[in-house]
């Protein structure tokens, strides 16, 4: 008994546009992010449920898409939020390099940075709750964050080249004791602002 969940990253936020690490901070969508959400809806079919992180950039993306699809209300869950990025939050890469020399190049993180294990544990619970709500063979569209999706992909052995773009994500099958990765998805081509195809 499994549900299919399309887990995608939110539209561009104002801090994405500025190149700032967001973590659990709550900047809004940029004007481009709002456009991306409207465009993404054009590529989507029917779903039984639309869910999201409670952070504004995810919940607003989900609400725009849910309204376009005629599905709602959006179910929000704080366990789908982005990881807490500790002392990196609010900083650009040059600012991080200035305050934490060599950390980014070495893949190091500050001591208060939330671990992959913590993100994975809470996100597993959130997706299990969504899967239970839509039931066997149900489908859900869920808007979350890059860190959450990355930990899901690691759990199922899925690989991805480069950073996850806004409105990019992956299908997952979720059920009691089941987490399987499916096809990667890109709902909006950010360079051309076009919809790649119907999902």
**Which amino acids are annotated catalytic?**
10, 82
Query: How far is 97 from 93, CA to CA, in rounded Å?
Result: 6
- Residues contacting residue 161 through CB under 8 Å, at least 6 positions apart: none
76, HSE (Cβ side, Cα atoms, 13 Å): 13
Classified as helix, coil or strand, 36 is helix
Query: How far is 61 from 10, CA to CA, in rounded Å?
Result: 6
28, HSE (Cβ side, Cα atoms, 13 Å): 4
Which residues are paired to 5 by β-bridges?
140, 172
Sheet containing strand 168-175, edge to edge, reads 75-76, 49-52, 139-144, 3-9, 168-175, 178-186
């Amino acid at each position: 008994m499994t549900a299919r969940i399309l887990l995608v990253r939110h539209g561009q936020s104002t801090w994405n546009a500025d190149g700032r690490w967001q973590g659990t901070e709550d900047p809004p969508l940029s004007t481009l992010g709002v456009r991306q959400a409207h465009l993404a809806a054009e590529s989507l079919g029917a779903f039984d449920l639309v869910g999201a992180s409670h952070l504004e950039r995810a919940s607003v993306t989900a609400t725009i898409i849910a309204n376009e699809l005629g599905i709602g209300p959006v179910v929000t869950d704080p366990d789908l939020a982005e990881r807490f990025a500790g002392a990196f939050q609010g900083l650009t890469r040059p600012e991080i390099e200035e305050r934490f020399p060599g950390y980014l190049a070495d893949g190091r993180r500050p001591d208060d940075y939330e671990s992959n294990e913590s993100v994975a544990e809470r996100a597993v619970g959130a997706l299990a709750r969504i899967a239970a709500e839509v039931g066997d063979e149900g489908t859900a569209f869920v808007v979350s964050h890059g860190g959450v999706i990355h930990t899901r992909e690691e759990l199922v052995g899925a690989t991805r080249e480069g950073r996850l773009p806004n409105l990019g994500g992956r299908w997952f099958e979720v059920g009691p004791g089941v987490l399987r990765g499916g096809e990667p998805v890109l709902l909006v081509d950010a360079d051309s602002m076009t919809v790649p195809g119907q999902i």
